[in-house]
């Protein structure tokens, strides 16, 4: 399972890199469809990449308006099986001078397809004061 842990960490690094590059298409490439995102108690289902990319672009616009230029994830507890994994990530988002302006946790359901880990479900929790 060590290789899976490294692959899962790489997935989240790729996700953070795509956010930092403001690249919605690269973000969407890391998902398996359909995708379910639970945002503070409300679930949204995205059947295809086009719908999710529109959502990702809106999210990146929110980041831009808030002055967020850098996001990083710290991977917390994971549970990995042969074809799926559950992971928690603690996110820190910073402005241009490196000040942390937003912190939150997300839980993820990942699936392994063609040897790659992809995100299929996100549960976004409320913002927290510290990670």
Per-residue pLDDT at 1: 44
CA atoms within 13 A on the CB side of 12: 26
**Predicted confidence (pLDDT) at residue 35 exceeds the cutoff of 80:** yes
Residue 125: pLDDT over 90: no
- Specify the pTM: 0.91
Residue 10 contacts residue 68 (beta carbons within 8 Å): no
Domains within the chain, CATH numbers bracketed: 2-127 (3.10.450.50)
Mean pLDDT of 57-75: 96
Average pLDDT over the chain, rounded to an integer: 92
How far apart CA 105 and CA 128 sit, in angstroms, is 8
Whether the per-residue pLDDT at 77 is higher than 90: the answer is no
Can you give the pLDDT at residue 126? 66
Residue 94: Cβ-neighbour burial (10 angstroms; 0-12, 13-18, 19+): middle
């Amino acid at each position: 399972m060590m290789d899976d842990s490294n692959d899962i960490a790489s997935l989240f690094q790729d996700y953070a890199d795509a956010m930092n590059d403001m690249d919605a298409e690269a973000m969407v490439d890391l998902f398996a469809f359909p995708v379910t995102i639970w945002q503070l108690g409300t679930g949204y289902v995205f059947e295809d990449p086009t719908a999710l990319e529109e959502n990702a672009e809106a999210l990146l616009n929110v980041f831009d308006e808030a002055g967020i230029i850098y996001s990083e994830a710290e991977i917390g507890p994971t549970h990995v099986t042969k074809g799926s994994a559950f992971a928690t990530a603690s996110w820190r988002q910073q402005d241009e001078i490196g000040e942390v302006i937003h912190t939150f946790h997300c839980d993820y359901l990942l699936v392994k397809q063609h040897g790659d880990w992809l995100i299929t479900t996100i549960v976004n929790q409320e913002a927290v004061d510290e990670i």
